[in-house]
Amino acid sequence: MHTALTSRPAAFNGVRPRSHGAGARLLPAFRALVPVSQSVAAGATEAAPIDGRALRRSLNQTGRYVRQPTNDPASQQLMDEHGVGYSTNGLVAQMRTQGNVWKQGEVTVKLAKAYGYCWGVERAVRMAYEARQVHPDRKLFVTNEIIHNPEVNKRLTEMNIEIIEDHGKGKDYSQIRSGDVVIFPAFGATVQELNDFRNKGVQMVDTTCPWVAKVWNSVDTHTRKQFTSVIHGKYSHEETIATASFATNYVIVKDLKEAQYVCDYILYGGNKEEFLAKFAKAVSKGFDPDIMLERVGLANQTTMLKGETQQIGKMLEATMMQKYGPAEINKHFLLMETICDATQERQDALYEMVADPEVDFMVVVGGFNSSNTSHLQEIAEHKGLPSFWVDSAARIDVATNTILHKLAHGELRETVGWLTPGKPVTVGITSGASTPDRAVEEVLQKVFQIYDPNFKGIVPKDCGPMPTPEEEH
């Protein structure tokens, strides 16, 4: 069983969790859906206010909105052919059936207990494939990379699904016309984007992970109850941009240090200019820390460390308790369970692996712009275990025994003679949450080839279909 399949909200089968706390007073500034604009800026802070909750409800009523996969067999078959889903008969699938270990000549491979595709990412890719199947003659666009994986995005491009990226000047959606199909990626889209596309008359395929939507629901609740959202995330990350767009007032903190700064400001006050300068790109428009930190609710970017988000929640709770007293805590602090375990599970599995004395070095597979993959590489480096992070097997040259790999802090490094054929070795391997199993299999294939030039590949063996999330749930 794929470990990531356990990572999902308790109360859905492709249906978004409900918002909590209905009946709270509505903020007057957020009642109307704004008119259509011709193009959509990526930044959430510049857009006109929109009632995110009402907007999301209205999407269902358009008849042009899909938010669940159909598990169409033809799309599944194509995903298998392209190697963009879970492995069902390759090396990774076979390793899964024998305790995540494989021995190939001198090479022993240990696969982390939790690795690779999380549930939400596989679901998003599946929905994109299904959209192409259902609309073979229409123009298809994705409002960003569907997931942070170059191979998957290349496949989509080859299927004539155009990825619209922001190259620093905002995204240009002007080429999209009524009748085209627009796919929203796993980490969501901003309320401005959703609103524009709803009004533009396009067919919408919303692959937003239900865990991310759950965070949006909590932010909705903050807004309705007039709380400020403290978002644990990176202000420039697409998911956090989308989440912030659902909030009225927000501040984004990237780590414990920034959270502590906010807590200290709440307790002791401080220099408002300094606060606003420090969070210049990470607060809502017109943010006033002297007024807007009286009632706060916690929200999170789902790929941040679970433990860190929980710690920030405790810090905020303790701060409000100290300032207003235990009896008043519910009036000043709001916490809803929105943390997805997928990222944490992969990190926990890696901590376990780097503590294994038999593992000589690590290979980490995942997109170079993938935040959760960089954390995996970081764990191995901190442990002092040699670790090679690659985004695909193309970074490995078998003939020269060379690897072009990335370090956690961003440097690309070429290492010649990274493997030592003739000497038995144990390789630990893991992959980020947006990495298909095929990428891991291709990397290992090259490792085996370097050790044995006569290696011809792993014989496929049907390990049975992976349980779909619905079956699993």
Nearer to ligand SF4, 396 or 439 (CB): 439
Q: Which residue number places its CB atom closest to ligand SF4?
A: 120
Considering the rule CB under 6 A, would residue 299 count as an interface residue with ligand SF4? no
**Backbone torsion region of residue 18, taken as left when φ is above 0, otherwise alpha when ψ lies between -120 and 50, otherwise beta:** beta
Largest CA distance in the chain: 72
Considering the rule CB under 6 A, would residue 140 count as an interface residue with ligand SF4? no
Considering the rule CB under 6 A, would residue 115 count as an interface residue with ligand SF4? no
Q: Round to whole Å and give the CA distance between 215 and 382.
A: 31
Structure tokens at 126: 């599946």
Among 9, 52, 85, 120, indicate the residue that binds ligand SF4 (CB under 6 A). 120
Minimum distance from residue 12 beta carbon to ligand SF4 (Å): 12
Minimum distance from residue 64 beta carbon to ligand SF4 (Å): 24
Q: Round to whole Å and give the CA distance between 191 and 53.
A: 9
Q: Round to whole Å and give the CA distance between 214 and 296.
A: 18
Q: Which of residues 192-211 bind ligand SF4 (CB under 6 A)?
A: 209, 211
Which of the following is catalytic: 239, 345, 378, 441?
239
Closest CA to 365 of 89, 126, 117: 117
Q: Round to whole Å and give the CA distance between 116 and 440.
A: 9
Reduced to 3 states (helix: H, G, I; strand: E, B; else coil), residue 375 is: helix
Reduced to 3 states (helix: H, G, I; strand: E, B; else coil), residue 187 is: coil
Considering the rule CB under 6 A, would residue 309 count as an interface residue with ligand SF4? no
Considering the rule CB under 6 A, would residue 353 count as an interface residue with ligand SF4? no
Among 95, 131, 212, 380, indicate the residue that binds ligand SF4 (CB under 6 A). 212
Among 92, 121, 296, 354, indicate the residue that binds ligand SF4 (CB under 6 A). 121
Considering the rule CB under 6 A, would residue 127 count as an interface residue with ligand SF4? no
Nearer to ligand SF4, 353 or 433 (CB): 433
| H/E element, 107 | strand 107-111
DSSP string, 279-341: TTTSB-TT--HHHHTSSEEEEE-TTS-HHHHHHHHHHHHHHHHHHH-GGGHHHHEE------S
Among 342, 439, 443, 463, indicate the residue that binds ligand SF4 (CB under 6 A). 342
Which residue stretch of 80-88, 222-230, 287-295, 336-344 sits at the interface with ligand SF4 (rule: CB under 6 A)?
336-344
Closest CA to 410 of 438, 456, 370, 360: 370
Nearer to ligand SF4, 238 or 391 (CB): 238
Q: What count of residues does the chain have?
A: 473
Look at the alpha carbons of 309, 340, 171, 412 in this order and tell me if their dihedral is positive or negative. positive
| Residues 432-461 as x/- pattern, contact with ligand SF4 by CB under 6 A | -x----------------------------
21: CB partners within 8 A, 6+ apart: 221, 224, 225
Minimum distance from residue 73 beta carbon to ligand SF4 (Å): 24
Q: Is 239 a known active-site residue? A: yes
Burial class (CB in 10 A: 0-12, 13-18, 19+), 280: exposed
Q: Which of residues 35-64 bind ligand SF4 (CB under 6 A)?
A: none
| Residues 384-423 as x/- pattern, contact with ligand SF4 by CB under 6 A | ----------------------------------------
Which residue stretch of 116-124, 284-292, 324-332, 376-384 sits at the interface with ligand SF4 (rule: CB under 6 A)?
116-124
Encode burial over 213-239: b for 16+ CB neighbours within 10 A, e otherwise. Answer: bbbbbbbbbbbbbebbbbbbbbbebbb
Minimum distance from residue 302 beta carbon to ligand SF4 (Å): 3
Considering the rule CB under 6 A, would residue 184 count as an interface residue with ligand SF4? no
Look at the alpha carbons of 323, 326, 332, 333 in this order and tell me if their dihedral is positive or negative. positive
Closest CA to 215 of 337, 45, 332: 337
Nearer to ligand SF4, 142 or 212 (CB): 212
Nearer to ligand SF4, 7 or 218 (CB): 7
Minimum distance from residue 413 beta carbon to ligand SF4 (Å): 28
Minimum distance from residue 472 beta carbon to ligand SF4 (Å): 13
Considering the rule CB under 6 A, would residue 218 count as an interface residue with ligand SF4? no
Minimum distance from residue 162 beta carbon to ligand SF4 (Å): 22
For binding to ligand SF4 (CB under 6 A), which residues are involved? 7, 118-121, 186, 209, 211-212, 302-303, 340, 342-343, 433
Q: Which residues are catalytic?
A: 239
